[in-house]
Amino acid sequence: MEENICRKLFPIQHRPPALSKVALQGVLKDLLGTDIGISSVYEFCSFCDRNYHIHIDHDKFKHYLESKDLQLQDDQFKQNQQKPSFVLKILNPCYLEYYELTLARLKLLQYLHNCGIRCPKILPLHNGNIMKIVRLSDEKVKNQAESMELIAYILIFIEGQTIAKIHSNFDLCYRLGRFAAEIDIKLQAYSDETIKQANNIWSLQNFPACKYYLKYCSDEKRGFLENIFNQICRTYFNKHVKNLRTAIIHADFNHGNIIVKYNNETNNYDINGIIDFGLVNYSCVVFELAVLMAYTLLTVPHDRIRALGHLISGFHSVFPLTEVEYKSIYTLIILRLVQTSILTKYSSNLQPDNEFTMDSYEEKLEILKFLLSIPERDVYAVWDKIVGFSVGEDVYNYLESENIQI
């Protein structure tokens, strides 16, 4: 029974096969209804899908837009007029079962883009839809015994690099917090029943279900992670999650999904967008902040606690936190780091040929040990001064860190 439930929460199958340039041209023709010449293609690292960065022929692209009466008024379109650049997403086979959910998440992406949030614009397909099931025949896919059907769609490429490739300073952390809060403010007004019913293992609300996957961790790491896991489930989840505000959230504000671009005038990075809406769900709003903070730790080389304080301050300035949410943050960061450590280890067993599944695994464990080495009260003493929020003597001690073997 437990295994069946966990498989529903984590339905990911093996990634779609890698496609040649010729095969990709065939997929584009299927989506756009005409031949679009590819001048270059590069595949991004991906957890479970295939993401191809494609430059196409300018004249053919312009002709396609004109034939569909599409206007080049959008900033992202304007940036791509001279050198059209897109991301072709081909989703994991498991998403065929969640077609309506995938469509709902893309419509949410459209909503945020129309609200002025910096996120990818979806390129309309020849049939007027925004995504399509494409068939990959055995002629297109080498070593594939039979044809495959997969969901595909096209996004306008956002220029820049992910924050995973840079070091975040206090100012950038503050602006990251504001950016995440601005999105969550917009999502307060958004409702979708399909998304509300969505459920997956990466949602922090499903943290207790991670217990099933602990067995995939090595003996050395398992005891450490299991000790923290049991304490969080016994204390925090049994008492406090029910008191957190809920809404639709992005749910995957990790360092690989935030795009920044260096600004020579300010000598700092501008936030150019957020990508990957594949985990959007209905959950606790403060989970959004906790996920962002957990992964931002991977980009901050020093003074990490203060950096997180500035991130909270940015979020709180736009989306004011309640006392119970603020007091939960420290535990939720640890929770996310434990969750991602367990699930990435399981994913590496599922996809041993995909190095991306183990990205930053050891570093996450080191950050966990770092956080647990600092008393929670001391962390909040730093944050209180930066955020202007005081928990006084009433700090929630969810973790008995002195009992965790570091």
Same domain, 234 and 96: no
pLDDT value of position 322 = 93
In this structure, is residue 8 part of a structural domain?
A: no
Same domain, 218 and 100: no
Contact yes or no for 332/288 (Cβ under 8 A): no
Same domain, 172 and 112: no
Give the pLDDT band of residue 99 (cuts 50, 70, 90).
Answer: very high
pLDDT value of position 394 = 58
Give the pLDDT band of residue 1 (cuts 50, 70, 90).
Answer: very low
Give the pLDDT band of residue 138 (cuts 50, 70, 90).
Answer: low
Q: Which residue has the higher pLDDT, 138 or 199?
A: 199
Mean pLDDT of 116-125: 95
Whether the pLDDT of residue 353 is over 60: the answer is: yes
In this structure, is residue 5 part of a structural domain?
A: no
CATH code at position 138 = 3.30.200.20
Whether the pLDDT of residue 7 is over 90: the answer is: no
Same domain, 154 and 171: no
Q: What is the pLDDT of residues 179-188, one digit of tens each?
A: 999 999 999 9
Same domain, 114 and 31: yes
pLDDT value of position 192 = 97
Q: How many domains does the chain have?
A: 2
Give the pLDDT band of residue 399 (cuts 50, 70, 90).
Answer: low
Mean pLDDT of 226-232: 88
Mean pLDDT of 104-123: 97
d(CA 299, CA 134): 37
Mean pLDDT of 89-105: 95
Q: Domain residues for 275?
A: 162-403
Same domain, 98 and 150: yes
In this structure, is residue 3 part of a structural domain?
A: no
Same domain, 172 and 32: no
Among 97, 130, 159, identify where a domain stops.
159
Mean pLDDT of 67-79: 55
CATH code at position 393 = 3.90.1200.10
Whether the pLDDT of residue 77 is over 80: the answer is: no
Among 141, 159, 177, identify where a domain stops.
159
Contact yes or no for 314/186 (Cβ under 8 A): no
Contacts 24+ apart (CB under 8 A), 136-143: 136/16, 136/17, 136/19, 136/23, 136/27, 140/19, 140/20, 140/22, 140/23, 140/26, 140/27, 141/17, 141/19, 141/23, 142/17, 142/20, 143/17
d(CA 288, CA 133): 31
Give the helix, strand, coil percentages of the chain, each rounded to 5. 50, 15, 35
Same domain, 227 and 325: yes
Q: What is the pLDDT of residues 11-20, one digit of tens each?
A: 666 788 899 9
Q: Which residue has the higher pLDDT, 208 or 138?
A: 208
In this structure, is residue 271 part of a structural domain?
A: yes
Among 159, 193, 215, identify where a domain stops.
159
pLDDT value of position 307 = 98
The mean predicted confidence, pLDDT, of the chain is: 87
In this structure, is residue 139 part of a structural domain?
A: yes
Same domain, 290 and 378: yes
d(CA 200, CA 405): 30
Q: What is the pLDDT of residues 239-252, one digit of tens each?
A: 778 889 999 999 99
Give the pLDDT band of residue 314 (cuts 50, 70, 90).
Answer: very high
In this structure, is residue 2 part of a structural domain?
A: no
d(CA 247, CA 88): 29
Task: Give me the helices (H) in 10-70, please.
Answer: 21-32, 58-67
Same domain, 45 and 143: yes
Same domain, 149 and 169: no
Mean pLDDT of 279-286: 96
Q: What is the pLDDT of residues 263-275, one digit of tens each?
A: 999 999 999 999 9
To the nearest whole percent, how much of the chain has pLDDT over 90? 62
pLDDT value of position 61 = 76
Same domain, 87 and 151: yes
pLDDT value of position 3 = 58
Mean pLDDT of 318-344: 94
Give the pLDDT band of residue 111 (cuts 50, 70, 90).
Answer: very high
In this structure, is residue 4 part of a structural domain?
A: no
Q: What is the pLDDT of residues 144-185, one digit of tens each?
A: 545 689 999 999 999 999 999 999 999 999 999 999 999 999
Mean pLDDT of 28-46: 90
Whether the pLDDT of residue 397 is over 70: the answer is: no
Q: What is the DSSP letter of 220?
A: H
Give the pLDDT band of residue 402 (cuts 50, 70, 90).
Answer: very low
Contact yes or no for 274/295 (Cβ under 8 A): no
In this structure, is residue 130 part of a structural domain?
A: yes
Least confident of 171-180, 205-214, 233-242, 359-368: 233-242
